[in-house]
Amino acid sequence: MDEKRELLDLLQDSARESTADIARQLGMEEAAVETLIAELEDEGVIRGYQAVIDWGTVEGERVTAMVELNVELDRETKYTDISARIAKFPEVSDLKLVSGDYDFAVEVVGDSMHDVSMFVSERIAPIPEVTQTVTHFVMDTYKERGIEFGDHTDDDRLNFSP
């Protein structure tokens, strides 16, 4: 499993590296890396490859909100039942069962704050098991999936003179 874990770490850092480069970094044959990647895809460990996009630099509005959900379960309903319903909505980009003050953390994406708030109030809140929603609109993103955003050319340190 160590080879698999090392491979997954490399792919998570940069899925654009060639299998030859990955093989060199892992000290493996390229064919073995290709086989390992195919196995991980077939097993459902690797679910896809995505670019990390700084949406703040793209024209047009795109609004993201983090929504906290509390739910009340009954004897027939499980968290997986509720998550299956919520995950089907295309507006939901991330859905996680979490510990703490609320049950689910949901990332919702829309074209405007109005679209997001209407989605939450009309599609999420009416789910019978949902007892509370709290919506936090994302104002700016500084780091996503380990990648920092922003212009790092400005030196905002204070000048110091002895």
Question: Residue 75: which CATH number?
Answer: 3.30.70.920
Please write the tens of the pLDDT for every residue from 131-161.
999 999 999 989 988 888 876 555 555 666 6
How many structural domains compose the chain?
2
Say whether both 16 and 70 belong to one domain: no
Q: For residue 156, what pLDDT is reported? A: 56
Q: What is the pTM of this model?
A: 0.76
Q: For residue 105, what pLDDT is reported? A: 98
Q: Enumerate residues 6+ apart whose C-beta is below 8 A from 40.
A: 4, 7, 8, 46
Q: Going along 46-159, which residue ranges are E strands?
A: 63-71, 92-97, 104-110, 130-137, 143-144, 147-148
Q: Is residue 132 part of a domain?
A: yes
Nearest CA among 50, 46, 32, 51 for reference residue 22: 32
Domain extent at residue 7: 2-42
Please write the tens of the pLDDT for every residue from 76-118.
999 999 999 999 999 999 999 999 999 999 999 999 999 999 9
Say whether both 66 and 101 belong to one domain: yes
Angle between helical axes of 19-26 and 2-13 (0-180°, round to 10)? 130
Q: For residue 157, what pLDDT is reported? A: 58
Q: Is residue 56 part of a domain?
A: no
Say whether both 28 and 76 belong to one domain: no
Say whether both 20 and 82 belong to one domain: no
Please write the tens of the pLDDT for every residue from 39-73.
999 999 988 887 777 777 777 788 999 999 999 99
Contact 86, 95 (CB under 8 A): yes
Say whether both 127 and 86 belong to one domain: yes
Contact 88, 106 (CB under 8 A): no
Q: Is residue 119 part of a domain?
A: yes
Say whether both 69 and 38 belong to one domain: no
Contact 142, 148 (CB under 8 A): yes
